[in-house]
Amino acid sequence: MIWSWNYTFEALPIIAKASIVTIEATLLSFVIALVLGLVLAILRMSGPTVGWVTSAFVEFIRSTPALIQIFFLFFVLPKAGIVLDAFTAGIIALSVHYACYCSEVYRAGLEAVPRGQWEACTALNLSSWNTFKNIILPQAIPPIVPALGNYLVALFKETPLLSAIAVLEMVQAAKSLGTENFRYTEPMTIVGVIFLVISLVSAAGIRWLEQRLNRRSVR
Amino acid sequence: MGIISLSAMLVAALIGIAIVAGIGENAVFIPGLLQGAWLTVQIAVVGCILAVVMATIAALLRLYGPAPLRWLAVTYVEFFRGTSALVQLFWLFYVLPDFGISMEPFTVAVLGLGLNVGAYGAEVVRGAIQGIQRGQWEATTALNMTRWQALRRIILPQAFVAMIPPWGNLFIELLKSTALVSLITMTDLTFRAKTLNDYSFKTIPIFTLALLMYLVLSLIVTIGMRRLEKVSMRGMVRGQGRT
């Protein structure tokens, strides 16, 4: 017996249900990461001390494994009196981790906006907040959309880490199916195929988006 | 961050470890964590070697191989980049025994991580080779070099310099991915931290120490790669050898 279709059809609905948790975790973490990443990028540009502290924080988060950050939050927060369920703790850890990656992308985008834009806004007497919000940001975002998209796919592929704190996402579902039936081949392969298909489709989508944005931004 | 800031962080991390270890009886956790860290380093080093080898082979096959081997290389890269590293590890660990292939956890760890990072590295190597100016190839033809000679003596040494920064990032990724092996029963740094936590409940000092140890390892890699970049740039005229 190399492959059992009966078992496959038994496992498929369970994994499909768990895939909803995976997708929820991906999208929620990514939205938080996008906002927090921008905040970190702005903090890095504001003043030498704040900038250095933020850089050190970003470097620290980027240099240590997401898995141990997840453990840290999951086990440490209850000590501080904050009891979170595994899903929430996992989402917070993943979104902070990816916010640090995104902040680097934002920084690249913001630094690519020519200085003259800032100077022109000073000449027009716009406040620095208005300048940032209405002039700089709209120019900085479109070129970095593909890079952010790549991080969305990377984040999607990191959600299996949540299985380590028993969040019932796809890998955890496959693992418990395997433990119950003493056979991991079918559930693990199904999960692998789902990851592969979604990643390849989104990679193609990002390429398409990149080409569209490139076409538009030719001046 | 600059090399000086990174070195400052490295010193700060080491001082941090010393301070946390100095509080109360936290020092008892150090030997266990260091043993775990040593296993982490071993997996990371062997994994990196495998990743570089796989990446070079896959990139060269994809660029210059005959059609079937080219497809094989593309399949390898897309497959390992498209699925999650943890799924790959679990698959090697739980599924292969069903096909009669049982491997030591260490082998599974190194294979899983090395193949995964190697797939990302293949794109780095390919990009660096393709970034070499056409004129370099034409010059080797004019000098009557064979393709292999040209690649080995002219193209790869120049591509090597361009590869260093992205490889630095990939090595960090691999080092961080080693934490995953704690989920396939290996007693690495993450596993040690978790088991120490399970019976002592001194969560904050244990995980802080483990995080700082990972930080130290990552910073050593980052600083080392920056230095390597500087050394290998020596004698190169800026802009030469790259398009």
Chain B residues whose beta carbon lies within 8 Å of the beta carbon of residue A52: 5
Average pLDDT of the residues in A101-114 = 93
- Would the pLDDT of A80 be above 90? no
Measure CB to CB from residue B179 to each of A68, A175, A199 and give the nearest one: A68
Please write the tens of the pLDDT for every residue from A6-22.
899 989 999 999 999 99
Distance spanning both ends of chain B, measured CA to CA: 26
Put simply, the chain A residues between 125 and 144 with a CB less than 8 A from any chain B CB are: none
Report the residue of chain A nearest B221, measured CA to CA. A63
With 0-12 CB in 10 A as exposed, 13-18 as middle and 19+ as buried, what is A185?
A: buried
Q: pLDDT band at residue B237, thresholds of 50, 70 and 90?
A: low
Lowest mean pLDDT among A121-125, B32-36, B84-88, B94-98: B94-98
B180 Cβ under 8 Å from any chain A Cβ? yes
Please write the tens of the pLDDT for every residue from A40-56.
999 998 888 999 999 99
How far is B231 from B242, CA to CA, in rounded Å? 17
Are B215 and A174 within 8 A, CB to CB?
no
**Two tokens, residue B127:** 């990009």
Put simply, the chain B residues between 13 and 72 with a CB less than 8 A from any chain A CB are: none
- Say if residues B125 and B164 touch (Cβ distance below 8 Å): no
Please write the tens of the pLDDT for every residue from A164-185.
998 999 999 999 999 998 889 9
Report the residue of chain A nearest B5, measured CA to CA. A56
Size of interface A-B (CB pairs under 8 A): 118
Give pTM, 2 decimals.
0.90
- Would the pLDDT of A38 be above 80? yes
Report the residue of chain B nearest A159, measured CA to CA. B84
Average pLDDT of the residues in A69-82 = 89
Q: Provide the 10 A C-beta neighbour count for residue B114.
A: 24
Q: Which sequence spans correspond to the domains of chain B?
A: 3-21+42-233
Are A65 and B94 within 8 A, CB to CB?
no
- Would the pLDDT of B132 be above 60? yes
Q: Provide the 10 A C-beta neighbour count for residue A134.
A: 11
Report the residue of chain A nearest B194, measured CA to CA. A71
Chain A residues whose beta carbon lies within 8 Å of the beta carbon of residue B210: 68
Report the residue of chain B nearest A78, measured CA to CA. B203
Q: With b meaning 16 or more CB within 10 Å and e meaning fewer, what string describes A102-130?
A: bbbbbbebbeebeeeebeebeeeebeeee
Average pLDDT of the residues in A75-92 = 90
**Two tokens, residue A75:** 């086990």
What share of residues in chain A are helix, strand, coil (percent, to 5)?
85, 0, 15
Q: pLDDT band at residue B243, thresholds of 50, 70 and 90?
A: very low
Domain B3-21+42-233, CATH: 1.10.3720.10
A120 Cβ under 8 Å from any chain B Cβ? no
Q: pLDDT band at residue B242, thresholds of 50, 70 and 90?
A: very low
Domain A5-217, CATH: 1.10.3720.10
- The pLDDT value given to residue A219: 47
- Would the pLDDT of B177 be above 90? yes
Are B87 and A158 within 8 A, CB to CB?
no
Put simply, the chain A residues between 75 and 94 with a CB less than 8 A from any chain B CB are: 75-76, 79
Closest CA to B182 of B190, B171, B174, B173: B190
